[in-house]
Amino acid sequence: MPPAPDQPLRILHAVRTPVGGIFRHILDLANGQVDRGHQVGIVADTLTGGERAAAALAEIAPRLRLGVHRFAIRREPGPGDLMVWRKFVRLIGELRPDVLHGHGAKAGVLFRMRRRSNDVIRVYTPHGGSLHFAPNTVPGAVYSRIERALMNRTDLFLFESAFARDTYQRLVGAPRGLVRCVFNGVTANEFDPVVRAEDASDVVYVGEFRHIKGADLLVDAVARLHADGRPVTLTLAGDGEEMAALKAQVARLGLTHAVRFIGHVKARYGFSKGKVLVVPSRGDSMPYVVIEAGAAGIPMIAADGGGIPEIFGPHSDALFAPNTAGAIADAIESALDNPAATQERARALRERIFLHFSQKAMVEGVMSSYRDAFANH
């Protein structure tokens, strides 16, 4: 029998790679669910995340009644997935969760391979994942077929943006299961202002160094500004698979005197290292960095793509055309030349974030969606 509406739930979250916004989302969601009396557990990969993931999981572990469980989960599909799936099945049998919530493509597959049960709902949040692959590519075709095969084995699709929902429906199809959009949210202390550092550069980037994040486009934009006689300085705060390529790009463009790398840092510390935050994303679904910066009142410009316009709402004058270094350069110049207008826009965006993107609203939206899924189940 499904749990009664007022009964605490046993919730098991799973993710392949415990890094970035997807991991932050799971931690915030798990903490909020525990605060509301639910019993929660997390499954994550052992091959990624390093010391930061280990430390974050160790910190939350005492709060998780269903525990922290880590397996080696590889990104690409392969024969090893069968062994991982068996471990998932065994773990599910031991923990007896009411909710199986898979985050990202691989965890979503592993949880939804489990047969249907009258007292358990299978929940899937893609977080981009397989949706980033174009359908006319071999990986895109394979992942779309897998998603389509599992679509009707899903009781609840939870998208963090309308962009992600619409992309899924365009690439995969319209699910028969329940579909809900619940925005990511930030905690109350993230609305505290950030004091700008004395050595702040003109612009700053905070995030992972991955192709979809677009840090290379920002470096090209800074090079264009230098060529036009505007010696803008840039701080790159982050790390990731494109670190070496970015450093080589900076050297090749002769920007080593104008661009500094400060490694992975807390987001708010990174924000302090620039006058204007630039988010050059090629298509993020709902990037936390935008919500975090907006909450802190950070002057910001961002790409008009993915789920970012949903965050900015009516403040779209802060957005530039995606995937275009020239548009980024023009937006940087405009933001630096009009600091009062840039700051006023940041103030207005902060008010919007406060109303629509809180952790409280996120957790309550997810829990309400779970209950709807049980009723629909």
- pLDDT, one tens digit per residue, over 30-62 is 999 999 999 999 999 999 999 999 999 999 999
pLDDT band at 189 (very low <50, low <70, confident <90, very high): very high
Other CB atoms within 10 A of residue 39 CB = 18
d(CA 99, CA 123): 7
The pLDDT tens digits of the residues spanning 172-181 come to 888 888 999 9
Nearest residue to 156 via CA among 182, 132, 131, 185: 182
pLDDT band at 188 (very low <50, low <70, confident <90, very high): very high
Asked if residue 32 is part of any domain, the answer here is yes
Asked if residue 236 is part of any domain, the answer here is yes
Q: Which two tokens stand for residue 240?
A: 């990731």
The Cα-based distances of 87 to 92, 111, 249 in angstroms read: 9, 11, 43
Q: Do both 240 and 179 map to the same domain?
A: no
Mean pLDDT of 264-289: 95
Q: Do both 205 and 295 map to the same domain?
A: yes
Q: Which residues pair with 204 in a beta bridge?
A: 235, 277
Q: Do both 242 and 331 map to the same domain?
A: yes
Nearest residue to 219 via CA among 206, 240, 235: 235
- Would the pLDDT of 187 be above 70? yes
pLDDT score recorded for residue 142: 72
d(CA 4, CA 371): 9
CA 213 to chain centre: 11
Q: Do both 19 and 99 map to the same domain?
A: yes
End-to-end CA distance of the chain: 11
d(CA 50, CA 158): 28
- Would the pLDDT of 195 be above 90? yes
pLDDT score recorded for residue 135: 64
Q: Do both 245 and 219 map to the same domain?
A: yes
- Would the pLDDT of 296 be above 80? yes
CA gyration radius, the chain: 21
Domain boundaries, position 195 = 189-356
Q: Do both 49 and 126 map to the same domain?
A: yes
pLDDT score recorded for residue 129: 61
Asked if residue 3 is part of any domain, the answer here is no
Q: Do both 235 and 309 map to the same domain?
A: yes
Nearest residue to 50 via CA among 160, 184, 208, 206: 208
State pTM to two decimals. 0.88
- Would the pLDDT of 229 be above 80? yes
Q: Do both 193 and 319 map to the same domain?
A: yes
pLDDT score recorded for residue 177: 83
pLDDT score recorded for residue 359: 94
Q: Do both 107 and 176 map to the same domain?
A: yes
Alpha-carbon torsion (108, 58, 188, 41), positive or negative: positive
Mean pLDDT of 186-199: 96
For 53, the 3-state DSSP assignment is helix
Asked if residue 20 is part of any domain, the answer here is yes
pLDDT score recorded for residue 1: 63
The total of structural domains in the chain comes to 2
Other CB atoms within 10 A of residue 340 CB = 7
The Cα-based distances of 324 to 203, 280, 307, 327, 330 in angstroms read: 17, 9, 17, 5, 10
pLDDT score recorded for residue 146: 81
- Would the pLDDT of 315 be above 80? yes
Asked if residue 4 is part of any domain, the answer here is no
CATH no. for residue 311?
A: 3.40.50.2000
Mean pLDDT of 87-96: 95
Asked if residue 130 is part of any domain, the answer here is yes
- Would the pLDDT of 2 be above 90? no
Nearest residue to 43 via CA among 98, 109, 88: 88
pLDDT score recorded for residue 354: 93
pLDDT score recorded for residue 132: 59
Q: Do both 155 and 275 map to the same domain?
A: no
Q: Do both 203 and 150 map to the same domain?
A: no
Q: Which H or E run contains 121? A: strand 121-125
Q: Do both 252 and 159 map to the same domain?
A: no
* Contacts of range 325-330, beta carbons closer than 8 Å, 24 or more positions apart: 325/217, 325/218, 325/220, 325/221, 325/224, 326/221, 326/224, 328/217, 328/218, 328/220, 328/221, 328/278, 328/280, 328/301, 328/303, 329/221, 329/222, 329/224, 329/225, 329/228
pLDDT band at 18 (very low <50, low <70, confident <90, very high): very high
Q: If you search the block for the tokens 């192709």, which residue do you land on? A: 211
Asked if residue 23 is part of any domain, the answer here is yes
Asked if residue 37 is part of any domain, the answer here is yes
pLDDT score recorded for residue 77: 79
The pLDDT tens digits of the residues spanning 128-174 come to 665 656 666 656 677 778 888 888 889 999 999 999 999 989 888 88
pLDDT score recorded for residue 336: 98
